[in-house]
Structures are given as structure tokens and as C-alpha cells.
Amino acid sequence: MTTFVLTRDRFVAITQTIGPEFPRVIESYARAIKMIEDKSFLYLSKWLHRLLIHPVLPWIERKRHLIVIPHADLHYLPFETLVDRDNMGRDFSDYEYLIRDHFFSYHYSASLWAHRDSENRPTEEKSFVGFAPVFRSADPPVVGEIAGNADPRANLQAADSLNTQPLPQLIATQKEVSTIIGLFRGKGRQAEGYLFQDASEENFKSAGIREFDYIHIATHSIGDRQNPKLSGLLFSRSNEPKADLEDGILYSEETFNLDLNAELMVLSSCESGIGKLVKGEGMIALNRGFFYSGARNIIFSLWMVEDRATAQLMVALYRNLLQGRSIPKSLQRAKLSLLKNRYTAFPKYWSGFILVGQ
């Protein structure tokens, strides 16, 4: 394995030998976070820190913003969770995670990052549009099976079955989007919201989203790792479907044809950044199409996320953006706000969302 470190005045290549167990270690680490296996998490976190971070410390320890371009299975690793040493406190809010000293962003390749469109409008002009179907129990069901997970914002897996069942409600998403709208309007900024039945695929495509700087979708997602084209985001559906209406699922293929000019796209749903690893391309997932349609920065999730913690994270994110901070810095501070609370301090609750872009 070769790690390349590029700073303003240095280019360093560090080569190490890794064993065939490395992909399994990454998989076990992700599982330890998602399942809150604290002992496994701490052991593997320190192991990965020694392997991935310790060799490059002389070049990064004084750098605040770290841009990570992962390869292969490293796409599943939120680097900000890595720990150098045991905590000296009583709970996980005391651990010395990398996020305490650095804010992170990720990208698909060095060339794409170098040629990114970094044009930003002044902060005082930024506008917001949010979509939250919420999915009340009376809403129409979808075809498929709901993955066994206690989290209300649990991912929906595509299924061959023709059985239908109601979608789990996402109560916290209503407050999530409404609160963010209030933050923007309180600053005199343009902010629009589409909730419940108004959060339809038709409205998403016709709402003039090109005119908004921040586009936020808080919903369920469908994930298909073998065929990412079938992955999608769920919007509200009409109780009386018509042939000329959308089907309520924004499929991955459709996202490549959108006309966006967003500084930030937020996919506040489960596993919106997980798909199929393709050699030479990296992770092909639901989030990729938004990037090619004109979104300059995208925040997406690596696993099934918890409804209320996600809402807290997103509100904190926009609160920091409205204070003039950069997107990576705003996401870091939002995560640190959850880290301060011992009930949301374990990385499952704050590290699942990562940023590709800036």
C-alpha cells in the first residue's frame, strides 16, 4: 500500500506492506461502529491509526483541513473516527478522535479535486430548499421489504417480492427541515420547504432547484450495491397515481440528468453514499449523479442513520454555515456538538455523514 501526501510545498510517497486481512479489518471496523461494539471499535481504531495515520503525522499534524482520496475498501472508512490512544475519561465523548484536530473532506480522485469548481457566492446570498416527505402512516406504501433495523430512518432494500407495506415515519425530518428554514429566514435569507405530500418527486424536479445554493433531502433511500442504477431516494407519492406522474423514487440514473448549480447537496438518508466499488472509478453510488449534475459539494451517509441524531447534526451543520464557516469546518463543528453529548458521542451517531468536494 502506498500513501501519497501532498501539501503546499511537499509531495511524499510512503509504501507499506499490508496483509490480505486488511479488507476484513475495514469491514469489522465499520461493523463495530454501526453496532456500537465499543471494545472492537477502540482496538481497531488504534490499529488503523498506527497503519494509516502515524506514518504521515510529520506532514499532517499541523494541518487543519485534510482532504482524503481513498482507494478500494478505504471508501468505507470515516477517517475522522480514528483514535491514537485510550481515553482518560469515563465515556466516548472523551476520546481523542482525529476530528478534534482536523476537519475532513473526501473526493473521488486527485484530478477531479484539482479541477473542481470552487466558485462560491458570498455567504449572505446563500439560499436553501429542503424536502422531507415524513411518510405518515396514511401515505401509500412502496413495493419491497424494509431492512430489519430499529432506526426510523432505516434503509429500504430493493426486493423481488410484490408485498407492500407502509414506510416508517420520519418524524424528526419535519422538524429538521422546518428548523433549518427558520434559521435561514431569521437571517433574511431565501428558504423554501416541501413537507409531507408536497415533498413529491414532481415538485423536486419542478421547484427550480438550480436557483438554490443548498439543497437538502431528508428521506428514506433504496440501496442496491450490485446495481447502483436501481438505488434511489424516496419522495411522497400520490394516493391516486396517474400515468403522467413520477413514481416517487428518484433513481440514481435520473440524478445525472438534473440541472444543478448547488454549492452543497445534502442527502440526509441512509447509505446514500454506499454502492459498488469499481476499479478505476471508486464508489459508484446514489450520490455520484448529483455531483455530475452540478452540485459542487455533497454530504451523504455511509450507513443506516438514526433519525433524531441526524436531525441534530443537520441543524448544527447549517447553523455553522450561516455563521460564515466553510462546509468542511461546519460539518466538523456539527459532529463535535454531538460528540459533547455522551448519548450521541459514539461514532455511530456523528461520523456516518461525510463530505465529498471542497
CB 81 within 8 A of CB 98: yes
Picking from 29-43, 137-151, 170-184, 338-352, which range would have the lowest pLDDT averaged per residue?
137-151
Report the distance separating Cα 301 and Cα 173, nearest Å: 15
pLDDT at position 147: 35
Higher-scoring residue by pLDDT: 259, 7: 259
Report the distance separating Cα 292 and Cα 327, nearest Å: 19
pLDDT at position 160: 35
Select from 144, 152, 122, 164 the least CA-distant residue to 270.
152
Q: Which residues of the chain form CATH 3.40.50?
A: 123-356
CB count in 10 Å sphere of residue 4: 11
Per-residue pLDDT averaged across 173-187, rounded? Answer: 96
Is pLDDT above 90 for 186?
Answer: yes
Per-residue pLDDT averaged across 254-264, rounded? Answer: 92
pLDDT at position 1: 85
pLDDT at position 227: 78
Q: What's the mean pLDDT when you consider all of the chain?
A: 84
Is pLDDT above 80 for 344?
Answer: yes
Picking from 191-195, 216-220, 302-306, 351-355, which range would have the lowest pLDDT averaged per residue?
302-306
Per-residue pLDDT band at 303 (split at 50, 70, 90): confident
Is pLDDT above 60 for 139?
Answer: no
Per-residue pLDDT band at 346 (split at 50, 70, 90): very high
Report the distance separating Cα 287 and Cα 302, nearest Å: 11
CB 289 within 8 A of CB 229: no
Report the distance separating Cα 322 and Cα 316, nearest Å: 10
Report the distance separating Cα 198 and Cα 188, nearest Å: 24
Per-residue pLDDT band at 12 (split at 50, 70, 90): confident
Per-residue pLDDT averaged across 276-300, rounded? Answer: 77
Report the distance separating Cα 250 and Cα 287, nearest Å: 11
Per-residue pLDDT averaged across 264-271, rounded? Answer: 91
Select from 237, 175, 156 the least CA-distant residue to 201.
237
* Most confident region among 45-54, 143-152, 239-248 by mean pLDDT: 45-54
Secondary structure of 65-102 in the HEC alphabet?
EEEECCCHHHHHCCHHHCECCCCCCCCHHHCCEHHHCC
Select from 265, 332, 230 the least CA-distant residue to 129.
265
Is pLDDT above 60 for 143?
Answer: no
CB count in 10 Å sphere of residue 161: 9
Picking from 88-97, 135-144, 170-179, which range would have the lowest pLDDT averaged per residue?
135-144
Is pLDDT above 60 for 287?
Answer: yes
Per-residue pLDDT band at 348 (split at 50, 70, 90): very high
pLDDT tens digits, one per residue of 194-238: 999 999 999 999 888 999 999 999 999 887 777 777 888 999 986
Higher-scoring residue by pLDDT: 156, 317: 317
Report the distance separating Cα 353 and Cα 221, nearest Å: 14
Q: In sequence order, what are the residues at sequence separation of 6 or more whose Cβ sits closer than 8 angstroms to the Cβ of residue 202?
A: 245, 246
Q: In sequence order, what are the residues at sequence separation of 6 or more whose Cβ sits closer than 8 angstroms to the Cβ of residue 36?
A: 346, 348
Q: Is the pTM of this model over 0.85?
A: yes
Q: In sequence order, what are the residues at sequence separation of 6 or more whose Cβ sits closer than 8 angstroms to the Cβ of residue 213?
A: 121, 125, 126, 127, 128, 262, 263, 264
pLDDT at position 165: 60
| Domain spanning 123-356: CATH 3.40.50 | yes
